[in-house]
Each structure stands twice: as C-alpha cells, then as structure tokens.
Amino acid sequence: MVCKTHRITSTLLICAIFIVSMFVCGNCFAERKHSEKWYQAKWCHENGGREEAVLADRTRCDCLTNTHAIEFDFGNKWAEAIGQSLYYSLQTGKKAGIVLILESSEDYRYWIRLNSTIKHFNLPIDTWIVRGETQ
C-alpha cells in the first residue's frame, strides 16, 4: 500500500510540475512568425544596409548602413540590444542603432523600456520598430 501511494504521489507531483512550468514559461513554447534574421534581411535590404557585416574583431553587426551600426532583437531582448549596438558603434565609428521587433501589441512595453532607458541615460542610440506580421 505504501509503494502504491508513493507512486501516485510521485506521478501527481510530476504532473503538477509540468503544468506549472507550462504557465511559467508562457512564451517558451511559442513559435515566432519569422526569425530575427528574416526581419533583419528585409529591413536591411529596404534601408540600403549590409547584413552580418564582419567587424575587425570578427564579431558580426546585424546591419551596417552608411550612417549606422544596427542591432536587431525581439522585444524581450531590448536590454541586450543596447550593449550590442553601442559596441558595434564603437567598432565601426558609426551611430548606434536598434531595430526592435514587436510581434504583438503587448510587446510595446519593451519599446517603452528601451527608449526610456536611452533617454534617461542620454545614450547615443537611434531606434526603429519592426512589427511582426502577427499584428
């Protein structure tokens, strides 16, 4: 009887952990409409830039235009984009730029966070929005 009760308890615990992880992860299992690279290629081509430009230290700038070194990221990665864009700017001598990909109306909060941070610290970064085709 103890073994059977232990087995049932273990099974229920595993099920509970799985269900909770599904709610906690939320977007972990969500599939994106397009990859970052897809948005990058489209925007960079439309704006006369060069994709995946290899810099002197062998890092790759997502899009290099005549005036900007640009980082592309999905909305939830807005903070990472700040550092990368500034680094690309340092390496190229061009203005830093970020293209933030917003796939839903809820993602607009990341646009606000990005631009509020840039404004508060007076960071020399220009920003653009690309809206996902799911909107």
Contact, 57 vs 84, CB < 8 A? no
Residue type, 12: L
Whole-angstrom Cα distance, residue 91 to residue 106? Answer: 34
Give the pTM.
Answer: 0.74
29-88 pLDDT, tens digit per residue, is 456 677 788 899 999 999 999 999 999 999 999 999 999 999 999 999 999 999 999 999
